[in-house]
Amino acid sequence: MQDWSHIQPGRIQTLSSEQEIVLKQVWAHFLIYFGYESSFPISDLPYNECYVASSSVQQGGNIGGDANGLARSSTRGSLNSNVSRKTSGTTASKKKGFFGKKKTETAEAAPADSKRMQQIQQQSSYEKYHKVTDSEISDRNRNLFIHFYRQGAEYEDDYDSDLENSDEESDNLSLETFVTASTSITDPGIALEPTPMKSNGARNGSLSKTTSRHHHGSHKNHGKPNPTVSSVMSKYKPFEIHQALMRANRSDLFDNFILRFVRARKLKLEPALNMMFKSLNWRYNEMPCDDYLFEGDAKSFVTGTNKGLIKNLTTSKSYIRGVDKKRHPIFFFKARLHYSSDSPIEETQRFAVLTIESCRLFLRDVTDGVDQCSILFDLTGFTLKNNDYSAIKFLAEVFEAHFPECLGYIFIHNAPWIFSTIWNIIKNWLDPVVASKIQFTKNLQELNQFVDIEHIPDYIGGEDTYAGEYIEPTEEHTHPPKSKDSHYYRLRRERENLLLRLFETSRRWAESVNPEVSSRYLQDKLDLDIELAKNYIALDPYIRCPFLYDRNGSLKLGI
Calculate mean pLDDT across residues 298-320: 98
Give pLDDT tens digits for 45-84. Answer: 999 999 999 999 976 544 544 333 333 334 444 433 333 3
Query: What is the per-residue pLDDT for 223?
Result: 72
Among the listed residues 39, 26, 30, the one whose alpha carbon sits nearest the alpha carbon of residue 85 = 26
Q: What one-letter code names the amino acid at 259?
A: L
Residue pair 359/251 in contact (Cβ under 8 Å)? The answer is no
Give pLDDT tens digits for 449-487. Answer: 999 999 999 999 999 999 999 999 999 999 999 999 999
What's phi and psi for 482, nearest 5 deg?
A: -110, 140
Query: What is the per-residue pLDDT for 222?
Result: 55
Give pLDDT tens digits for 482-502. Answer: 999 999 999 999 999 999 999
Query: What is the per-residue pLDDT for 107?
Result: 55
3-class secondary structure, 130 = coil
CA dihedral 529, 480, 327, 78 (to 10 degrees): -60
3-class secondary structure, 29 = helix
Residue pair 12/22 in contact (Cβ under 8 Å)? The answer is no
* Whole-number Å distance between alpha carbons of 276 and 111: 29
Indicate if the pLDDT at residue 96 is higher than 70.
Answer: no
Beta strand 407-413 with 373-378 is: parallel
Residue pair 241/159 in contact (Cβ under 8 Å)? The answer is no
In order of their start, the domains of the chain are: 10-57+114-156+221-294+481-558 (no CATH), 317-468 (3.40.525.10)
The string of DSSP codes covering 70-123 is ------HHHHT---EE-SS---EEEEE-TTSSEEESEEPPPPTT-HHHHHHHHH
Task: State the average pLDDT for the chain.
Answer: 86
Within a 10 A sphere around the Cβ of 119, how many other Cβ atoms? 20
Give pLDDT tens digits for 339-368. Answer: 999 999 999 999 999 999 999 999 999 999
Indicate if the pLDDT at residue 234 is higher than 70.
Answer: yes
* Whole-number Å distance between alpha carbons of 168 and 346: 47
Q: How confident is the model at residue 161 (pLDDT cuts 50, 70, 90)?
A: confident
Query: What is the per-residue pLDDT for 63?
Result: 58
Is the model more confident about 219 or about 345? 345
Query: What is the per-residue pLDDT for 98?
Result: 37
Terminus-to-terminus CA distance in the chain, angstroms? 18
Give pLDDT tens digits for 130-148. Answer: 999 999 999 999 999 999 9
Is the model more confident about 108 or about 15? 15
Query: What is the per-residue pLDDT for 213?
Result: 54
Query: What is the per-residue pLDDT for 167?
Result: 61
Full-model pTM:
0.85
Return the bridge partners of 411, or none.
376, 439
